[in-house]
Every structure is written in structure tokens, then in C-alpha cells.
Amino acid sequence: MGNGDFTPANGVVSGQGTFSDPYIIEGWDISAASNHGIWIEYTTAYFVVRNCYVHEGAPNYHGVYFYQVYNGRIESVESSWNLWGMVVWSSGSEEHGNSIADCYVHENWWAGIYLQETSHTILENNVLVRTAYGIHIGGSEYCTVSGCTADNNDYGVYLTHSSWCNIQSNTANHNTLRGVSLYYGSNCTVSGNNANNNLYGVYMSYSERCKVRGNTVIENSYSGFQLSNITNIMLVDNKAEYNTNGFSLIGFSSLNNVLTGNLANYNGDYGFYLSDTGGNELNSNSAKNNGDHGFHLSASNNNILTSNTANNNLGYAGIYLWSSSNNTLNGNTANNNDNGIHLGGSHNNTLTGSIANNNNYNGIIIEASHNNMLTGNMAKNNRWNGIQLNLAYNNTLTGSIANNNNYNGINLAGWCYYNNIVSNACYDNTSYDIYNAGTGNVFQYNSYDTSSGVP
């Protein structure tokens, strides 16, 4: 069908095919049992399909099918029980895009709306329910999905091998697998979406240079944000609550991402979980009241954590590094956890200006770790020790404050060797201000009243 086929015999009820007077295809009830319900291809004329009902095309035919179409619009169309509800393939350009708005697309077999190799297509205020993919975008660019509802599908909004797309202000709830997914996406924006009660809320894999801002993910069975092998992604001002993990950032190819101002509270396990990743920055994020660690880094190196808050978490530590090296932690707060900050099997890290108070056990623990630098930290009113070193050597602890702890201010347990304890202030601790059970440790210019084992 080309421009010359916009005729009354083919369903056109009015219009001249211009921008100001488009062809109108309206008011039809169409069975797609023997062919695609509305099939338009190779057109550049302006047209609108509206107020139609297209149905019963499954398992072979689609409700609406566009191929190499420009300047088309679908509005207020219902499409159900087709193979794909609506398809736009190899269509659209910067000045001659297509749009689908205010449609109800339900009970289709494969996808509600499917865009393939398409550009400059806008999907807005559509409802897509009870199908495999609510919205599926593949191999496309400069497409926008805005204000849509994609609930009770397998996947809500799914984008793959696409770039410069904008996924904004949508709802993707109660999907069997994922609310919003990006797979091999680049330079895309995901903003202001709600993705709740899915297996994963927002799922990104093998994507780069995207912005993820202001999304809310609640009560997803696994992670609120599942981020795998992503690079140069910015996640800003997102909220993840009551998921298993709030944010999971995993994979050796997950590099150079920035997470700023995000909230990960009341999750069953971890607030922020990083595994096998490096070169990321986490700034001014909050992880509170999670079932395990607020921030967990495993086998993750060369990351920077600055001004984050990890309070009232129920697991072993507010901030926990395991087998992670060359990380920089600046100005973080970890209060009212079991332990505040724990470095286990982690080396060559820098911990500066942190606050670890009122924890159930220790404020800061350095365990089976070496060559770490701790400067200007505060550990007060912890139930056990302010700062504890265990099985640790060649660490430097300087300029820190460890007061009013129930056991010791600074505690060097057994098997601690050649650590430098310099210019720290420790007062009013119940047992000792500084306790040393190790060998070869150096103590210089510290301020304290009581000690044991300090030469």
C-alpha cells in the first residue's frame, strides 16, 4: 500500500494526506483472522488511524502493521488477541516520525507494541497488558515511551540494541520478569518510571552512556535495579525500597558508573551490592534499614564512595568490603548497624573522615587486610570497640577519634603486625583507650588515658 491507496475502499473516511488535513481511518471493527488487521506500508502521506478495534489475528497476524511508514499516527485504537498488537518496522525519520497514543492493547501473543529498526517514534499514554512484552523496541533510535502503563506482562517495557531512546514517566508493575529492561542500549534516558512488584524493577545489561534518574522501584522479588556489565551509566535520585536488593551492580564489564543521591531503604538483603566491578563512584546515597549490609562490595576495586549514609542496617555492617582493594571511602556515615564499616580481606584502601557511631558491635573493623590508610575517622559510643584491627598488618591509623566505646577505643587483637597508630585521640572508653595484643605495631603521638600493651 502506497500513498495512492489511501482511498475510501481501504477505510479512509476523510482527509487529503497533508499535515493540516491528514487522511483519517476511523471507526472500524476489524477481524485480523485472515490477514493483518490494518496494514500500511511505503507511505509518506500524513494519516491518522483512530477509534478502531482490531482483533483475533493470533497466531499468524498482527493487529496493526506499519512498514516503511512516515507521518503516521495511531490513536485510541484497541488491539487484542493478535500475534503482535501493533508493529512499526523500518519506519520514521527525524522530520517524519510516527506516533501511537491512548491505545488499549491487551491479550496479544507476543508484544503489545513492537518497534523494530525504527526511529523518531513516540508512544504515549498507552495501556499494554497481559502479553509477553508490553512494549518491545529493537534496533531503533530516537524513540520515546512516555506515560504508558505496561502491567501484568512478562516484560513491561523492553529495549534492546537501541540508542538515544527516552523511557519516561511510565508504569510497569506486576510483570512476571522485568518492569523496564535495557539490553545493549546506549545514550538512552530512563526517568520518572514506577516499576513495582516485578521480578526485577529496572534491569540494564551491556548498556553504556545512559541516564537513569528519578525512578521508583518497590517490592520487586529480586533487585530493584539490576545492573550487569554496564559502563558510564549515571543513576541519580532513584528510590529502591522493599526489594531483595536495592541496587545490584555486577560484572567485570561494569565500569565507570556514577550513582548519586539514590535511596535504598528497607530492602530484604543489601541496599547497594557491588560484585566484580570497578571504577565506579557512589556519592551521597542512602542505605537504611536493610536486612543485610547497606553497602556491600565484593571483589570490587578502584571504586570511590563519598558522603554516603548507611544507618540502621541489620546485617553484619553498614558498609562492608570483602576482597576489595584500592577503593577510596570519604566522609561516609555508618551508625546504628551491627558493625559500622568492615574491611575483610581488602587491601590498599583509603578510609577518610568517616563516622561510625552507636553500632551494636564495632565502629570500624580492619580484618585480614593490609596496607590500608585510615585518616580522620570517628568511632564513638559503640557497644564493643571503636576501631578494631584483627589479623591485620601494615595498616596506618591516624588522626581518628575513638571515644566512649564499651570495650576499647582502638583494639589491636591478636595477629596484628607492623601497623602504625599515630596521632589518634581515645578517651572515656570502658576497658582501655588503646589495647594492643599484636607485635611490632608502632604508636606515636596518640592522646589517651588508659592502655594495655602499648610500648
Residue 211 lies in a domain: no
Of the three residues 116, 131, 146, the one that is the final residue of a domain is 131
- Under DSSP, the state recorded for 374 is E
- Answer yes or no: is pLDDT of 272 > 90: yes
Quickly state the pLDDT bin for 455 (edges 50, 70, 90): confident
CATH for 389: 2.160.20.10
Residue 384 lies in a domain: yes
Q: How many domains does the chain have?
A: 2
pLDDT digits (tens, 9 = 90+) for 393-424: 999 999 999 999 999 999 999 899 999 999 99
Residue 229 lies in a domain: no
User: Strand locations in 334-383, DSSP E?
Assistant: 341-344, 350-352, 364-367, 373-375
**Strand duo 12-14 + 23-26: pairing:** antiparallel
pLDDT digits (tens, 9 = 90+) for 134-187: 999 999 999 999 999 999 999 999 999 999 999 999 999 999 999 999 999 999
Task: Give the residue numbers spanning the domain of 432.
Answer: 316-455
Residue 245 lies in a domain: no
Residue 50 lies in a domain: yes
- Under DSSP, the state recorded for 163 is B
What is the C-alpha to C-alpha distance for residues 195 and 149, in angstroms, rounded to an integer? 10
Residue 240 lies in a domain: no
Of the three residues 81, 105, 131, the one that is the final residue of a domain is 131
Residue 262 lies in a domain: no
What is the C-alpha to C-alpha distance for residues 38 and 36, in angstroms, rounded to an integer? 6
Of the three residues 104, 131, 158, the one that is the final residue of a domain is 131
CB-hemisphere CA count at 13 Å for 191? 11
pLDDT digits (tens, 9 = 90+) for 317-334: 999 999 999 999 999 999
Mean pLDDT of the chain: 97
What is the C-alpha to C-alpha distance for residues 413 and 393, in angstroms, rounded to an integer? 11
- Under DSSP, the state recorded for 58 is T
Residue 196 lies in a domain: no
pLDDT digits (tens, 9 = 90+) for 33-67: 999 999 999 999 999 999 999 999 999 999 999 99
Other CB atoms within 10 A of residue 60 CB? 13
